[in-house]
Every structure is written in structure tokens, then in C-alpha cells.
Amino acid sequence: MKPLILVTAGRQNPATPRGEVQFVTTGCDLDYATATTRAGGAPLLFPCVDDPEAVASAVGAVDGVMLTGGGDVVSLEYGEEPHAASKLQDPTRDAMELAVTRRALERGLPILAICRGAQVLNVALGGTLIQDIPSQVPGAIKHYSEGMEPVLLHSITIEPDSLLARVMGTTKTAINTWHHQSVNALGRGLRVNCRAPDGVIEGIEATDGRPILGVQFHPEECAARYPVFQTLFDWLVREAGARRRER
């Protein structure tokens, strides 16, 4: 049996012509599933359901968790009023992903948290977010690519003693980036593992060696072209496989 990886899915409410039935879809970018499968895992999409028992059952059945990208976490979740630039909130998704994260932490499952996922991980552990980098970080570089395809837009410096450095095999790399928010005050038991040149936190991980990695960039988009990004998915599936063998 391949390791089972719970992959969180977002929601979309597409505009429909007048008179047609409105519907809500769920899903994520296929690249998340492709990179997981390439690593030898079996991805299972988990939709936005606000049901703690369903979350507990799903997390109890898998070997690892991936928190995917998406819109902004509702700022009241970390005790702040919303910035004027905040957007694309989904309280039901927040509830689901915060519950998934906390349950996965309780079970000691490996977690790979990507972009919004890293922010969810930080908030789940009591941390806060910078709500709008362009207006709140003096001298900020561009963190939101608008290229025709995934662009390695800026560099990051990775802490040499970090899990991220061991997984990626480097202490400096260029990354693709699609975010206007980022980690601010760290959640309990978390440390910074990489930063952008302007000081913005681009990654977090556990201080005590638990298999928890959060990155603000999007490795799934570049994993096929740049193998250094596939290492993150290989790590998750490898850790999940070890967890499965322990069960």
C-alpha cells in the first residue's frame, strides 16, 4: 500500500448566467496530486466540510497531510481586524483546515504546508500573519508573480541547520511566488527556516524535529521542471511511509 496523503481542497462558486442553478465546486491544482504521485504517494482530496468528526475520521485514516494554497485566512482567527487589501476569505475552509492541522499535529503526522497552508499552520499554533506585504513591509520586493508560466521570481536564503536545508540540499535557491500575506509572529513550537531578501518569512518548521514543513512558495508548480522542488514531496511521502509502517 502506498502512503495515503490527505490533500486539502478549496472551494469555488462560479458565476452562472441568470436563471441557471448556482453550484459550488471543490478541488485544487492538479500539480499537488501529480507531485505527490510522482513521489510514490496516494493523494486523497478532502473537501471543505465543517464537521469535526469527519475531519477526525479522515485524518485518522491517512499517513500524512498536505495543506494547499488559496485565499486569505479570516484575520479574526488570529485576533486582528481585516486589512483593506484582504481578499478571497472562506470561513468554512478555514474551519476545515485548522481542524485538519490540529488533528494531524495531535497524531504526529508529517505535514507539508504550502503557501496559504503555511499560514494556516502558523495560525493553528497561535501565530499571526502580515496581512499585506506591499503596504506593511518597508522596502518589500515583489512577491506576487504575474508571469505567463511559473517564474522563479526571487531568491530565498535557507537556514543551514534547518530541516528545509536538509530536504532541498541547499541554503539558497530561487522560488516561484504567489502571495501578498506571510507569517508574522510565529506559532508555538515553530521556527523560521528561510527568508526572502526583504526579510519576509518564506518558510517555517518545527523546533523539536517533528516532520512539519511550511513553505510560502509553490513547489508543486515547478517540481517537474526543477527537481529541487520535488524533494519536498519526496520527503512528505517518505515520512508518511515511515508513519504507515509504524501503525
Is residue 220 among the annotated active site residues? Answer: yes
* Residue 32 domain boundaries: 4-13+21-246
Judged on CB neighbours under 10 Å (0-12, 13-18, 19+), 139 is exposed
Each residue's pLDDT tens digit, 96-129: 999 999 999 999 999 999 999 999 999 999 999 9
Number of domains the chain contains: 1
Is residue 143 among the annotated active site residues? Answer: no
Q: Is the pLDDT of residue 166 over 90?
A: yes
Marked catalytic residue, from 77, 202, 220, 239: 220
Any alpha helices (H) in 78-223, and if so which ranges?
91-107, 116-124, 133-136, 163-168, 219-222
Sheet holding 4-8, edge to edge: 42-46, 4-8, 64-67, 111-114, 212-215, 201-206, 190-195, 154-158, 172-175
CATH number, domain containing residue 111: 3.40.50.880
Marked catalytic residue, from 115, 154, 179, 194: 115
Statement: the pTM of the whole predicted model exceeds 0.85: yes
